[in-house]
Structure 1
Amino acid sequence: MRKIWRSLATLVAAVLLAAALGTLVPRPLWPAAMAEGEGTRRILVLKNPIHTDIAVPLDDGVRRRFAFLAGAGLPMDAPGARYIVFGWGGRAFYLETPTWSQLKAAPALKALTLDASVMHVDVAGTIKEPHSDVSGFDIDEAHFAALLDYIAASFRQGPNGPMVVENAGYSTYDRFYEAGGHFNALVGCNTWTAAGLRVAGIRTGWWNPLPVSLWWSMGLYN
């Protein structure tokens, strides 16, 4: 029994050390040179206790780029629409856990082991800044275009383009789509967000499995 507890303690210590190093070691190690036209586009990172999303401002170009979302009924042309909010996550957990009160054992277990993935897309109005759960970054047009490419590539393609998950969603303002890659405890929604931010020229920690570690690293290096 002592050996089991010792092994568990060692495992916990290793995970905590990895998480600390993942926050404190920047990625990339050296900041990129400032680009021409810095600050022409403002993107937002949104968080809750376990999940992060990337919000991009809506304009005609973004609407054209993600026109398939309107085809699935997402109200991108609604008068109050200001942002499209994108998140990547585990299929079972995302679809079956709209609120914490609806948490079930099977989706949670899949999220910790291995699960298929989905993209969650939402339309938002004005998002308040400053706010403890919102972090904003001003990036140039080239990095903004690269971020849109990264997001678009996260949707799994079928014969007719991105594949909407039928009869899934939390409200009339959001949709789920099949996504590329697999979700697990090491490669999850927050590592997807962090990778997108790096594509956009924003430094993060080396490994950010939790919103709190991503938030700390964004504050440290940007």
Structure 2
Amino acid sequence: MSVKMILLYVLKAIGIILGIVALYVVMGLLLPLIEVSAEKNDGQTKDIPIYIYTNGVHTDIVMPVKNDLQDWSAKVPFSNTKSKSTDYTYIGIGWGDKGFYLDTPTWADLKFSTAFKAAFWLSDSAMHCSYYKTMKEGDDCKKIMISRDQYKNLVKFVEDKFDRDQNGNFILIPTNAVYDVNDAFYDAKGKYSFLNTCNTWANDALKAAGQKAALWTPSDFGIFRHYK
């Protein structure tokens, strides 16, 4: 094969890669603009507060620690956090790439190797669980009131993403790479990719709960733009 042919193939490969990147950027900007409407009122009172919360990278679904429908502290023990405090009121849960969670608390910490593995289904996933005593609404935190049936659907969606041991318990990831004294990581099902991100999962959680959401989004912006 001549040098000219090799160069031609290389240029074609580069063109294909750039085309895929460009398509992804366009999809990431346009598809979040399409809103999936919230389900019509099911007749139940919407008296259960949940929140969507972003740290600028990952979006979490924040729920009451305990009510008559679910006790998260029984499945995500307070004792697995550094604080071991038992007076938390809310729990935030998010799904994502294990490498991103453990090695990338902010975009400034992102490494090429972490991003490459995450983008192409090459690493495991994890659930990040954070306890909070209060929630403060703002640009990074939006409150949503949902019904009991909607909450049941949300709980099932979230629980189904946790890996479990032979006894049915969530599997704690032993690590010191926690973000604060109130959080812990657990093994999760599924593979993270550039098409299925932590924010895509949170967006799907809102759909499962019958709430408005983006048609598809890889970013937190795609979620929060529908909750201004």
Q: TM-score, normalised by structure 2?
A: 0.82
Q: Aligned in 2, Cα 1:33/1:60: closer, same or farther, shift over 3 Å?
A: closer
Bigger strand share: 1
> C-alpha root-mean-square deviation of aligned residues, in Å?
2.5
- Indicate conservation of the 8 Å contact 2:49/2:144, yes or no: yes
1:98 aligns with 2:92: no
User: Which of the residues 170, 182, 193 maps onto 2:202?
Assistant: 193
Q: 1-side partners of 2:127 and 2:216: how far apart?
A: 21
Aligned partner of residue 99 in structure 2, secondary structure: helix
User: Which of the residues 49, 52, 63 maps onto 1:56?
Assistant: 63
1:22 aligns with 2:31: yes
Q: What per-residue deviation string (whole Å, max 9, x for no partner) do you get for residues 68-122 of structure 1?
A: 211753478623x121010111011211223445433322221222121000101
Aligned to 1:133: 140
Kindly state the Cα deviation for residue 182 of structure 1 after the two structures are TM-superposed.
0.5
Aligned to 1:180: 189
User: Which of the residues 205, 217, 223 maps onto 1:208?
Assistant: 217
Aligned to 1:112: 119
Q: What per-residue deviation string (whole Å, max 9, x for no partner) do you get for residues 47-76 of structure 1?
A: 133221110022344663541211753478
- In structure 2, the gaps of 5 or more residues are 1-7
Larger Rg: 2
Aligned partner of residue 43 in structure 1, secondary structure: strand
- Indicate conservation of the 8 Å contact 2:95/2:198, yes or no: yes
Give identity over the alignment, percent.
Answer: 27
- In structure 1, the gaps of 5 or more residues are none
Q: 2-side partners of 1:211 and 1:70: how far apart?
A: 28
Aligned length, in residue pairs: 215
